[in-house]
A = this chain, B = another copy of it.
């Protein structure tokens, strides 16, 4: 990858072509993401045409939109050929209307209907993840009949490791793994040997829940049914892996106010605009903290040590609070934490904060004493630090729970709100105690 990047950087494009031809579309997609925008079109033109569709699928949303903008309609149309229905459904929202129309015209009726069905579901639900190319069999036939039917079909859709058993009315009954079909006595009936322990997923189940189910039960594929239990399609784990990764990335990017689909080389103005919002939100909280500091200007001008030491109390509170917040955000998303066990958790976090508050309060107070030779100042510093650690624990537990109740993603706004509390309380207690005990 490094070698490719430097080939791009130094403009030795000719050398790239054979390299790109031997790369998997996922690797090509990564390369496209890792080079500056102005070079992407040049590299794209060296990608083998057969890989165009898969490569578009593998780049992130932002880079994909950019490439689609830059490409000719004919090239796009050719790229969509040979893609699976669920992949096409992912791509279609980004395609220009004219390309979509021509693509639909070129498809056969069966596939067009399938695509329409998949598109009718929320992309972030089981329906949006599923592929409707299931192969079904009846429960009352023998394995031998199934085997003969499969020989007649002569092929199975990609990643088929089980057939689905349905009733005459299409209701889902169970799964018939190919591993059973090939090992068990051909005389036996499907109904005797089918697996019935995997519950079908409801078509409107949220994608995050689907991902959780796959992880918990170690599934490789699962049936999707409507409210009447009629089989609509199947979800395979490779689509679920994308959901799992996206969710994890969402948390880490949200905590910094970024979008998980953010292109590393997004246009400068677009990046700046997005991040400006985040900086602005933080600025508002920083000014709030400043207002609190402003209340104590009398003390600050008399005892300059207060100004020197005040960032420490606030910053230690922010660090402690962000540890609790991170534990909460992960716990909430895994389902480990809810309102029922919040009290027990708060008690534990308060105890941890108290221990660390006293430990580091003594250290910090001691340093302040040595530095400024003022015993009262050391004591004030220690007390403020303990109070702010306790405040950080309460805020760290309460803020994400409150946000969840209000339907706001704690990962997105939690850290801004938390820092506001730890700054305001940190500056307030330290300078307040300073005013009380150090002013004459």
Residues of chain A touching chain B, judged by Cβ–Cβ distance below 8 Å, are 1-2, 5-6, 9, 24, 26-27, 30, 33-36, 58, 147, 150-151, 153-156, 159-161, 178-179, 181-186, 214-220, 236-238, 240-242, 244-245, 248-249, 251-253, 255-258, 262, 264-265, 268-269, 271-272, 275-276, 278-280, 282-283, 286-287, 289-290, 293-294, 297, 300-301, 304-305, 307-312, 314-316, 319-320, 322-323, 325-327, 329-331, 334-341, 344-345, 348, 351-352, 355-356, 359-360, 363-364, 367, 419, 423, 427
Tell me the complex Cα distance, A310–B311, Å: 9
Residue of B236, B248, B339, B360 touching A245 (CB-CB under 8 A): B248
Residues on B with C-beta less than 8 A from A9 are 340-341, 344
- A280's closest neighbor in chain B, by CB? B360
Is there contact, CB below 8 Å, between B341 and A315? no
Tell me the complex Cα distance, A268–B280, Å: 37
22 A-B pairs, CB-CB below 8 angstroms? A1-B335, A2-B339, A5-B340, A24-B217, A34-B331, A150-B183, A156-B182, A159-B218, A161-B179, A220-B238, A248-B251, A248-B252, A257-B319, A258-B327, A264-B331, A264-B345, A265-B345, A268-B352, A279-B319, A282-B315, A282-B316, A287-B367
Residues on B with C-beta less than 8 A from A33 are 334, 336
Given contacts A154-B184, A160-B179, contact A264 B337 (CB under 8 A): yes
Report, nearest first, the 5 A-B pairs whose CB atoms are least far apart: A248-B248, A5-B340, A26-B216, A161-B161, A307-B307
Which of A240, A297, A344 is most buried by chain B, counting CB atoms within 10 A of its CB? A344
Is there contact, CB below 8 Å, between B264 and A153? no
Q: A264-B336, A272-B355 are in contact. List 20 more A-B contacts (CB 8 A).
A: A24-B217, A26-B216, A26-B217, A30-B336, A33-B334, A154-B183, A161-B220, A182-B182, A215-B245, A218-B238, A237-B237, A237-B241, A264-B331, A278-B323, A283-B316, A286-B315, A289-B312, A307-B307, A315-B419, A315-B423
Tell me the complex Cα distance, A238–B355, Å: 40
Total identical chains = 2
Residues on B with C-beta less than 8 A from A265 are 344-345, 348
Residues on B with C-beta less than 8 A from A272 are 351-352, 355-356, 359
Given contacts A153-B183, A326-B252, contact A276 B359 (CB under 8 A): yes
Tell me the complex Cα distance, A26–B218, Å: 10
Given contacts A150-B182, A253-B330, A258-B327, contact A335 B30 (CB under 8 A): yes
Residue of B181, B237, B252 touching A255 (CB-CB under 8 A): B252
Is there contact, CB below 8 Å, between B241 and A241? yes
Residues on B with C-beta less than 8 A from A282 are 315-316, 319
- A156's closest neighbor in chain B, by CB? B179
Is there contact, CB below 8 Å, between B341 and A34? yes
Residues on B with C-beta less than 8 A from A367 are 287
- A372's closest neighbor in chain B, by CB? B294
Is there contact, CB below 8 Å, between A2 and B290? no
Residues on B with C-beta less than 8 A from A185 are 151
Residue of B238, B309, B356 touching A276 (CB-CB under 8 A): B356
Residues on B with C-beta less than 8 A from A248 are 244-245, 248-249, 251-252
Which of A181, A279, A314, A335 is most buried by chain B, counting CB atoms within 10 A of its CB? A279
Tell me the complex Cα distance, A237–B215, Å: 10
Tell me the complex Cα distance, A356–B314, Å: 25
Residues on B with C-beta less than 8 A from A268 are 348, 351-352, 355
Given contacts A258-B326, A319-B278, contact A338 B154 (CB under 8 A): no
- Closest beta carbon of chain B to A133's beta carbon, Å: 12
Given contacts A5-B340, A279-B319, contact A286 B271 (CB under 8 A): no
